[in-house]
């Protein structure tokens, strides 16, 4: 249900439907400890900034704090009255925040395990939480109460309740300097708030469907927003205007990515194109059109000179960002490619998707150097550990496979937690709605049509 690397990258923690938290050595793939105590699904795990502690939140309504050195549970935090969906440490590691279906955020003193504050007032689920960069503030967004709450983490005082959205709030983000807060909602708007006054000084309108994500540019001058309305918008914070509406696509925008220097934005769409936009002008200066299917993912190389794309045409393509030339077409997948990722040194490109393989390509030559088999269902995500070079890949069956980049991508370990309804056949079952059916499948159930 949740995975997290330790700050130094040597451990991987996973929480699962088997009610356990497991610690894995990333260099060997060995499960070093099984942390038992939860009595229901473990929904979230998070390491403390110093890596000494691990927090876990569960459907059993508790948060547990574990000592990594001893693998013992130091505290059981029991005051929530419903599922705990999210846990997050403050930047200094002294406070733990937990968000729950009981319509509260609770702040816990890590050193004592005591609940120091209860942030109440919600009338529905807590959907999102975010700390400011200095850790002094906590923002949270909720459901039916349609409000963003800003709390002083040093006191028990709610600084502001930011009201104005007319539907559920999906995402919140602080600006890099902590002066501004952005919130995106199902009401199709983005609101910009002054953190010190709580005033909404801008309502960014233009999207015609859900706003699912907001992110500030590295310098804090711009905001990018992604929506289900098939567009990407770039907003100037000072002017409060969308200086360009990236609407030339004729289908949903599946993926967006900033170049490392923030100068370019790439967008991939189901209209089979990749568009490169100059961030400072908002102009589309290049359209990459060689895919013959949906463009599902885009990623810049670490130095920004290359762009990789994966699509439903079963190919991965490598593009020179300064010329727009497609330097390589990587053919080898036999189903759509959902994700692409560059290795930390930029020498390798990993791709994966519906065909259940991870394929490794040499960037300089365009040659496929490895086909990694072992997954039993479509692969949803891949990610390199920037410190160790371990590649993690995750699939719909709940498997996490770890591959050693520095040893010919040898499979180190298959990490798996059995799910409650593993392999239960629900074909033709009656008495459940579509949402319940999907929930059963997430927990391991199968249909003959899968």
Place of tokens 């899968």: 450
Structure confidence at residue 1 (pLDDT): 61
Partners of 241 in the beta sheet?
A: 236
Which 3 state secondary structure label does DSSP give 441?
A: helix
Other beta carbons within 10 angstroms of residue 128's beta carbon come to 18
- Is 377:396 a contact under the CB 8 Å cutoff? yes
Full pLDDT tens readout for the chain, 450 residues: 677 778 888 887 888 788 899 898 878 778 899 999 999 888 888 899 999 999 999 999 999 999 999 999 999 998 888 888 778 788 788 888 888 877 677 888 999 998 887 766 544 454 555 556 676 776 766 655 688 877 765 664 667 888 899 888 777 778 878 899 989 888 999 899 999 888 899 998 988 888 877 777 778 888 888 788 888 888 889 888 888 788 887 877 777 677 778 788 777 778 898 878 788 888 888 989 889 888 888 788 989 899 999 999 999 999 999 999 999 999 999 999 988 888 989 999 999 989 999 999 999 998 999 999 988 888 876 777 666 777 877 775 656 677 889 999 999 876 654 444 555 677 776 655 666 666 566 556 677 765
User: What is the side-by-side strand order in the sheet with 84-89?
Assistant: 84-89, 95-100, 105-109, 114-119
Give the DSSP H/E element, type plus range, for residue 440. helix 434-442
pTM: 0.49
Going from the N-terminus, what domains does the chain have, and what CATH number goes with each?
1-99 (2.120.10.30), 121-247 (2.130.10.10), 257-418 (2.130.10.10), 423-450 (no CATH)
In degrees, rounded to 5, the angle at the alpha carbon of residue 30 between the alpha carbons of residues 27 and 32 is: 110
What pLDDT score was predicted for residue 37? Answer: 93
- Alpha carbon distances (Å) from 281 to 31, 215, 432: 50, 18, 51
């Amino acid at each position: 249900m949740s995975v997290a690397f330790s700050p130094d990258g040597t451990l991987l923690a996973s929480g699962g439907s088997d009610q356990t938290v497991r610690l894995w050595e990333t260099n060997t793939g060995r499960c070093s400890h099984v942390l038992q105590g939860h009595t229901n699904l473990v929904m979230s795990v998070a390491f403390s900034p110093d890596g000494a502690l691990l927090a876990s939140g569960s459907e059993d309504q508790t948060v547990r704090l574990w000592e990594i050195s001893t693998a013992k549970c130091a505290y059981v935090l029991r005051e929530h009255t419903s599922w705990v969906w999210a846990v997050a440490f403050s930047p200094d590691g002294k406070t733990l925040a937990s968000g729950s279906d009981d319509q509260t955020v609770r702040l816990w003193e890590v050193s004592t395990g005591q609940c120091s504050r209860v942030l109440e007032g919600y009338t529905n689920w807590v959907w999102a939480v975010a700390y400011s960069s200095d850790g002094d503030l906590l923002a949270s967004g909720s459901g039916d109460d349609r409000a963003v709450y800003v709390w002083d983490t040093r006191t028990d005082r709610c600084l502001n309740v930011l009201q104005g959205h007319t539907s559920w709030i999906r995402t919140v983000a602080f600006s890099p300097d902590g002066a501004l807060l952005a919130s995106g909602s199902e009401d199709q708007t983005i609101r910009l708030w002054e953190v010190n006054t709580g005033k909404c000084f801008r309502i960014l309108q233009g999207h015609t469907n859900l706003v699912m994500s907001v992110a500030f540019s590295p310098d804090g001058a711009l905001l990018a927003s992604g929506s289900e309305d098939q567009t990407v918008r770039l907003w100037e914070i000072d002017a409060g205007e969308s200086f360009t509406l990236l609407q030339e696509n004729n289908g949903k925008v599946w993926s967006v990515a900033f170049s490392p220097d923030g100068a370019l934005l790439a967008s991939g769409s189901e209209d089979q194109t990749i568009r490169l936009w100059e961030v400072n002008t908002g102009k589309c200066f290049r359209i990459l059109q060689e895919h013959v299917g949906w463009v599902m993912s885009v990623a810049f190389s670490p130095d920004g000179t290359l762009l990789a794309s994966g699509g439903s045409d079963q190919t991965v393509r490598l593009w020179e960002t300064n010329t727009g030339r497609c330097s390589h077409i990587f053919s080898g997948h036999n189903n759509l490619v959902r994700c692409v990722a560059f290795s930390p040194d930029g020498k390798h490109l990993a791709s994966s998707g519906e065909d259940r393989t991870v394929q490794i390509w040499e960037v300089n030559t365009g040659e496929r150097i490895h086909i990694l088999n072992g997954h039993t269902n479509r692969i949803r995500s891949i990610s390199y550990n920037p410190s160790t070079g371990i590649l993690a890949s995750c699939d719909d069956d709940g498997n996490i496979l770890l591959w050693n980049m520095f040893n010919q991508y040898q499979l180190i370990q298959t990490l798996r937690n059995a799910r409650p309804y593993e392999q239960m056949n629900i074909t033709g079952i009656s008495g459940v709605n579509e949402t319940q059916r999907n929930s059963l499948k997430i927990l391991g159930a199968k249909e003959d049509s899968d």
